[in-house]
């Protein structure tokens, strides 16, 4: 029988061994690569002294490849719960120092346990990923562990926010769970995501590609659109995750958390009166309108490097979180194409899942023409955005700042697909297409140059304005740009108790 002192010592030793993970040498290697350890990450993420670790002493049960002689308490996965800004959060962090943070049956069970708890308690789940994927020595048991997690990711989707930070090389199964979560953060120069790595690619397709080109932070933030945020280092990611959480409710039954508003709700911004050029072909930066209008000019942009012709992100108006979607005339004239449609559609659906009102700023010349777009399926991808807006039952408030042409007018939160309050600036142009294109089609080959110019002018006066739409009640109110903040806050106030539901169904069939 152990004495009291001996049993306490044994407990201390086991905890210490778990805390050390793969050992001092491997921790030094992690630090040398510019990364933090799993435990350091959790401490950086959560409020001080709130982390409660679960299953700290769990070990793998593999006997093959001599694994029975190589066991580390915790088995390369740190799991538990704690608080961010005083609100409950569940978290797991893969410890790369233990078998490369790989997924075993035992540590998958740890993740499954906290996922089930997160669902039952109605609290968000944050995964800090740094893993070589399925633990090869465990074979199908590891795959089973992953599938148990994937299954829960899907069940939790739209019920609790799920956030992934990719903080090291993540391969195979280690990228599919993040892919099913709501937002993915990456770190420049130290985090990677790929299904198969450069070596396998070289063997199979003979392509030569570096880890960074294949799956680095900027590849996924600017090319593939897989990731939503890129940070300089682990510390910055953790701060960004905390900031993101400040906009989100704990679950789909709650409203997003309001903060006391320290900005003037009646603020009028004279600079907006002249921000949009009278010449419809001249660009301007839509972000200036957004940052001018929102509380304390604080706009938390999502996917700033991807499909920059559309802007998405979170902000507050009168202290209430809102999701903002806006065409960006400063990039590709703000046109809707495949990437921007998919980017915005997913964001609209996220906001709708979690009761976050949508504010849409519209300046869109239409859908991008071209064989690339048509062959790439712009019809089904553009339809995603139309579907997402039509399906969303959260408050939807729209401001047409300048152009709203063609199908893109319908798509961008128009009255017809459930816009609750639809504003337009006096300079807005709402029509099937721009004056030049319209005259070319209606009067094809019938007019002299002079007559053509007159027809363009007449079309512009009659159709390229907000007044036709306002006459028909499709626009509720034409507003001065300087009033935008006040009007949006009024509209949010109006819609705060909005109650609208879609017809009962198993689920819709969004074009994928
Ligand atoms: C077991 C693994 C492992 C794995 C890495 N390790 N990946 N152990 N299973 N999948 C171990 C290494 O043996 C090493 O152990 C330690 O982790 C660190 O790995 P290194 O290679 O030394 O580190 P680094 O050079 O930084 O490279 C990291 C890496 C590379 C890029 C992740 O290890 C790698 O390519 N691993 C294989 C990735 C992969 O193909 N995974 C897919 C699995 S299949 P020691 O003891 O030396 O420290 C999969 C299918 C799931 O996931 C499907 C779901 C849909």
| CATH numeric code, 10-245 | 3.90.226.10
The residue whose C-alpha atom lies closest to atom 3 belonging to ligand 1 is: 132
Q: Is 445 considered catalytic here?
A: no
Listed residue (384, 379, 421) closest to 400, CA to CA: 421
pLDDT band at 46 (very low <50, low <70, confident <90, very high): very high
Res. 173: pLDDT tops 90 = no
- Yes or no: say if 84 and 245 are a contact pair by the CB < 8 Å rule: yes
pLDDT of residue 441: 87
Fold for the domain defined by 272-428+465-495 = 2-enoyl-CoA Hydratase; Chain A, domain 1 (3.90.226)
Stretch 364-393: mean pLDDT, rounded? 97
- Residue 252's H or E segment, with its range, is none
Going from the Cα of 169 to the center of ligand 1, the distance in angstroms, rounded, reads 9
CB distance 135 to ligand 1 below 6 Å: yes
Residue whose CA lies nearest to ligand 1 atom number 26: 169
Contact 131, 102 (CB under 8 A): yes
What confidence score (pLDDT) does residue 150 get? 97
Distance, CA of 218 to CA of 335 (rounded, Å): 23
Q: How far is the CA of 172 from the centre of ligand 1 (A)?
A: 9
Atom 18 (ligand 1) nearest CA: 100
What pLDDT score does 463 carry? Answer: 82
Burial class (CB in 10 A: 0-12, 13-18, 19+), 138: buried
User: Best substitution site from 23, 27, 100 to test ligand 1's pocket, by max atoms within 8 Å of Cβ?
Assistant: 100
**How far, in whole angstroms, is CA 60 from its chain's centroid?**
34
Q: What pLDDT is attached to residue 239?
A: 98
Equal fold, 10-245 vs 272-428+465-495: yes
Let me know: does 303 contact 314? Beta carbons within 8 Å: no
Atom 31 (ligand 1) nearest CA: 169
Whether the pLDDT of residue 486 is over 90: the answer is yes
User: Running DSSP on this structure, what letter comes out for residue 103?
Assistant: B
* Ligand 1 neighbourhood includes 134 CB (under 6 angstroms): yes
Give 441: exposed, middle or buried? Use CB within 10 Å, 0-12, 13-18, 19+: exposed
CB contact at 8 A, 413 and 385 = no
State residue 352's pLDDT score: 98
Q: What does R_g of the chain's alpha carbons equal in angstroms? A: 26
Under 8 Å between Cβ of 469 and 416: no
Q: Is residue 74 in contact with ligand 1, taking CB distance under 6 Å?
A: no
Q: Is residue 376 among the annotated active site residues? A: no
Catalytic residue among 74, 132, 168, 172: 172
Nearest to 459 by CA among 405, 398, 410, 423: 405
Domain boundaries, the chain: 10-245, 272-428+465-495, 435-463
- Is 23 in the active site? no
Structure tokens at 366: 């239409």
């Amino acid at each position: 029988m152990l004495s009291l002192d001996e049993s306490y010592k044994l407990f201390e030793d086991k905890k210490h061994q778990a805390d050390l993970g793969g050992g001092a040498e491997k921790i030094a290697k992690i630090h040398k690569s510019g990364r933090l350890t799993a435990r350091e990450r959790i401490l950086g993420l959560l409020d001080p002294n709130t982390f409660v670790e679960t299953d700290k002493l769990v070990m793998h049960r593999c006997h093959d490849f001599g694994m029975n002689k190589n066991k580390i308490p915790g088995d390369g996965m740190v799991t538990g719960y704690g608080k961010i800004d005083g609100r409950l959060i569940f978290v797991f962090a893969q410890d790369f120092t233990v078998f490369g943070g790989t997924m075993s049956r035992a540590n998958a069970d740890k993740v499954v346990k906290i996922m089930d708890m997160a669902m039952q308690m109605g609290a968000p789940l944050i995964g800090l990923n740094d893993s070589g994927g399925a633990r090869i020595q465990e074979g199908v048991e590891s795959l089973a562990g992953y599938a148990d997690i994937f299954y829960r990711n899907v069940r939790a989707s739209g019920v609790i926010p799920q956030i992934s930070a990719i903080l090291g090389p993540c391969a195979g199964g280690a990228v599919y769970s993040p892919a099913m979560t709501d937002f993915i953060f990456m770190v420049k120069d130290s985090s990677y995501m790929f299904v198969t790595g450069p070596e396998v690619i070289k063997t199979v397709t003979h392509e030569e590609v570096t880890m960074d080109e294949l799956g680095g932070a900027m590849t996924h933030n600017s090319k593939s659109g897989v990731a939503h945020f890129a940070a300089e280092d682990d510390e910055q990611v953790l701060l960004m995750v905390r900031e993101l959480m400040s906009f989100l409710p704990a679950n789909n039954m709650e409203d997003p958390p309001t903060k006391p508003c320290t900005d003037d709700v009646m603020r009028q911004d004279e600079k907006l009166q002249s921000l949009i050029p009278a010449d419809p072909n001249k660009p301007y930066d839509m972000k200036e309108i957004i940052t001018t209008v929102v509380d304390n000019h604080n706009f938390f942009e999502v996917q700033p490097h991807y499909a920059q012709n559309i802007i998405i992100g979170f902000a507050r108006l009168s202290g209430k979180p809102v999701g903002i979607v806006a065409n960006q005339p400063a990039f590709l004239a703000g046109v809707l194409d495949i990437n921007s449609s998919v980017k915005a559609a997913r964001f609209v659906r996220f906001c709708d899942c979690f009761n976050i009102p949508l504010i849409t700023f519209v300046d869109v010349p239409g859908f991008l023409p071209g064989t690339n777009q048509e062959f790439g399926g712009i019809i089904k991808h553009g339809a995603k955005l139309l579907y997402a807006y039509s399906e969303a039952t959260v408050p939807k408030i729209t401001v047409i700042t300048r152009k709203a042409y063609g199908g893109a007018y319908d798509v961008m939160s128009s009255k017809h697909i459930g816009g609750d309050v639809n504003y337009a600036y006096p300079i807005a142009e709402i029509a099937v297409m721009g004056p030049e294109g319209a005259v070319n089609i209606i009067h094809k080959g019938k007019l002299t140059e002079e007559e053509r110019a007159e027809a363009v002018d007449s079309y512009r006066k009659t159709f390229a304005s907000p007044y036709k739409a306002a006459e028909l009640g499709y626009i509720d109110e034409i507003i001065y740009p300087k009033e935008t903040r006040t009007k949006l806050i009024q509209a949010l106030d109006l819609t705060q108790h909005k109650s609208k539901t879609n017809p009962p169904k198993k689920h819709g069939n969004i074009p994928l």
